[in-house]
Chains A and B, each alone.
Chain A
Amino acid sequence: MKTKQLGNSDLFITPVHFGASAWEQSAAAIHRALEFLDRISQTAATVLAIMLVAVIACFDYVTGDFSLTLFYLVPVVLATWYAGRISGWFIGALSAAAWLLGDPALSHAYGHPLMPYWNAAMLALVYGVVAHLLSMLHRLQTELQERVEQRTASLAEVHHRVKNNLQIISSLLMLQAEKLSRAADKAVFDECRDRIYSMARLHEQLYSSGEFSDLDFAAHLREMAEMLVRSHTPQGCVLALDVRADPVAVDLDTAVTLGLIANELLLNALKHGFAGRPAGKLTVELYGGNRNEMTVRDDGCGLPPGFDATKDAGLGLELVLGMTRQIRGEAKIENDPAGGTRAAIFFPSLLPSKTVKTELQSKPTYHD
């Protein structure tokens, strides 16, 4: 690296590496130039285009027989895109005139004295058509951009409305629960509020990420587990939470269903796993792959002897089994050999896309 003194500042001359860095530098320079053009006024863009026409005309004159016809398209495009159609037409006509002045054949004999003027007129027409088509493209692009901005604003409003409505439903459940006297009845309403809370956080994650096709379920699972342990740890029990979650991308439908499954499994472990115990550990795992696996494991009292999930399931477990089938998954709920209960949900990475069924279509072949 060479350095050279230039007044009070140092100028570092870095060698240009050809290959990726040279491309990157060129791309960065083009990006900066486009940003500059975006900032300047329409008049400035037109003046810049006129200057470009003058430069190209000089080259045209000097190079003689070498045709630079195409190069005049650069100021035409610049003027049209950044200053509008009229400016594009004007620069097109100016370019044709400059081409005519720079044409060395002008001084020679043409087959017909009007031929160079005819050629220039044809060039002006071509440049004019290019300017016209480009201005239409620019208008379409502007309209498309406006529509995208409108859609984004609408989506933000819908998202806000969804969250507000979930808040109202949650509030109504809370107010209704006040009228109940039995703690067990109140707990049912609290569980419903937890489910709503879980769905709302998913919406939030989806909207914040800006990625509407799929989202990372690990972040949601971690947040939900921490929230439920904070609010539902049994009194007198010191609970340790261990979350080991790989990034697993799932679509929104799967994420909502999987979130509700995780909610049920975590609540089940918190409600029944540690009853009467002074301490315990809750482990939540999520592993990706061809077949993903989500596991909720506690070191609590375990399942009752002879427990059969398909026959002895309460509402929570029934929902877990049903929702697992819904995401084409498989549930395995059993006593952990190390003690406590282990609930594992295996689910595929990609679900078949949903289709709108009509009467003419054949009946679905899946089981639910």
Chain B
Amino acid sequence: MTNARILIVEDEAITVSALKRELASLGYEVAATASTTDEALNAVELHKPDLVLMDITLAGNLNGIVGAVAIRGNYHVPVVFLTAHADDQTMERAVAAGAFGYVLKPFSGAGLKAAIETALHKHQTEIENRRAPDRAA
């Protein structure tokens, strides 16, 4: 799904700049950027992105996992984590938070695209599965 609108949540300015360009070169539109979980929640409300690409360790009091739970619960937007954490404990927490994907830093264009496309496809399938019983009824 190219042209998907993506919200970047990352507190390293240089990484944000690189991500913007990488996502643009992959055919996605960057809806907005945020550096804290609070900003991310406001940005989701305001810009209604198709997907959130989220770091786990963020500036502010709330980490990315808390943000992902809130975004999933309140806005039903898929979240893909982009993080340097590769340990099992963080992975388990990410899965429990309802993550649709996981990209490890430093990212590669191919890895980023694969994770985003898989997440968007999974989200689409979930929506269709939810609608199916309604249609049957």
Chain A interface (Cβ < 8 Å from any Cβ of B):
156, 159-160, 163-164, 166-172, 174-175, 178, 193, 196-197, 200, 204, 207-208, 227, 230-231
| B104 near A171: Cβ-Cβ < 8 Å | no
Mark out the residues of chain B between 79 and 137 whose CB falls within 8 Å of any chain A CB in the assembled complex. Answer: 84-88, 104-111
Interchain CB contact under 8 A, B18 and A174: yes
Task: Decide: A167 and B84 in contact? CB cutoff 8 A.
Answer: yes
**A175 touching B86, Cβ below 8 Å:** no
**Size of interface on B: residues with Cβ below 8 Å to A:** 22
- In the bound assembly, the distance between CA atoms of A175 and B25 in angstroms comes to 13
Bound CA span A231–B111, Å: 10
Contacting pair B109 A172 (CB below 8 A): no
29 contacts between A and B (CB under 8 A): A160-B57, A163-B105, A163-B106, A164-B84, A166-B106, A167-B84, A167-B105, A168-B12, A170-B106, A171-B12, A171-B14, A171-B15, A171-B17, A171-B18, A171-B19, A171-B106, A174-B21, A175-B14, A175-B18, A178-B21, A197-B106, A200-B104, A200-B106, A204-B86, A204-B104, A207-B87, A208-B86, A227-B108, A231-B108
Closest chain A CB from B95 CB (angstroms): 16
**B→A interface (CB under 8 Å):** 12, 14-15, 17-19, 21-22, 57, 84-88, 104-111
Q: Are B12 and A167 in contact (CB under 8 A)?
A: yes
Tell me, rounded to whole Å, the shortest Cβ–Cβ distance linking B28 to chain A: 16
- A interface, over-half SS: helix
Given contacts A167-B12, A168-B12, contact A175 B21 (CB under 8 A): yes
CB distance from A240 to the nearest CB of B (A): 18
A residues less than 8 Å from B14 (CB atoms): 168, 171-172, 175
Contacts of B17 in A (CB 8 A): 171, 175
Q: Is A156 touching B87 in the complex (CB atoms < 8 A)? A: yes
Q: Contacts A163-B86, A166-B106 given; 13 further ones with Cβ under 8 A? A: A160-B57, A160-B84, A164-B12, A166-B105, A167-B15, A167-B105, A167-B107, A168-B14, A171-B12, A171-B14, A172-B14, A175-B17, A231-B109
